[in-house]
């Protein structure tokens, strides 16, 4: 079992290599597969009320966790194939978003940053 992002990527790479699947893992294919899995995640909440979406049964929680994992696996594979460090990219994106959404303007608001201009 993997306990870190690095170990998880290594485990996933080994899984793919053992099955000779890298040949199918183009960025296009992986992005499309990730969107399919994300849609399956959305399907889990499709007709729920906001409250129902926050209070999952054990069965639904397991189904949601599987769809999250499927989406995450494809995200990791895209990053691996394109040699993108997700932690570095995420840290950079947080910095960019901090500039777009300054605390004094964004706190408690769901408005897009263009509304602040």
Candidate CATH numbers 1.10.287.1080, 1.10.490.20, 1.20.210.10, 3.10.580.10; the one for domain 5-84: 1.10.287.1080
Q: Say how many residues make up the chain.
A: 117
pTM (two decimals):
0.88
pLDDT of residue 116: 74
pLDDT-above-90 percentage for the chain: 85
Of 104 and 65, the one with more pLDDT: 65
Q: Residue 82 contacts by C-beta under 8 Å, 6 or more apart in sequence?
A: 27
How far is it, in rounded angstroms, from Cα 64 to Cα 54?
12
Residue 113 has pLDDT above 90, yes or no: no
Q: How far apart are the first and last CA of the chain?
A: 48
Residue 15 has pLDDT above 80, yes or no: yes
Among residues 93, 63, 76, the alpha carbon closest in space to that of 33 is found at: 76
pLDDT of residue 2: 82
CA 45: distance to chain centroid? 17
Residue 7 has pLDDT above 90, yes or no: yes
- Digit-coded pLDDT (tens) for 69-109: 999 999 999 999 999 999 999 999 999 999 999 999 889 98
Burial of 77 (0-12, 13-18, 19+ CB in 10 A): buried
Q: Where are the domains of the chain?
A: 5-84, 87-117
């Amino acid at each position: 079992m993997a306990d870190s992002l690095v170990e998880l990527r290594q485990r996933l790479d080994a899984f793919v290599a053992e099955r000779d699947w890298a040949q199918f893992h183009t960025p296009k294919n992986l992005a499309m597969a990730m969107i399919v899995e994300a849609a399956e995640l959305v399907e889990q909440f499709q007709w729920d009320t906001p409250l129902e979406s926050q209070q999952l049964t054990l069965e639904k929680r397991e189904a949601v966790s599987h769809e999250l994992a499927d989406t995450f696996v494809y995200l990791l594979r895209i990053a691996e194939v394109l040699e993108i460090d997700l932690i570095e990219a995420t840290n950079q994106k947080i910095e960019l978003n901090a500039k777009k959404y300054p605390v004094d303007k964004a706190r408690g608001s769901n408005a897009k940053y263009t509304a602040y201009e």
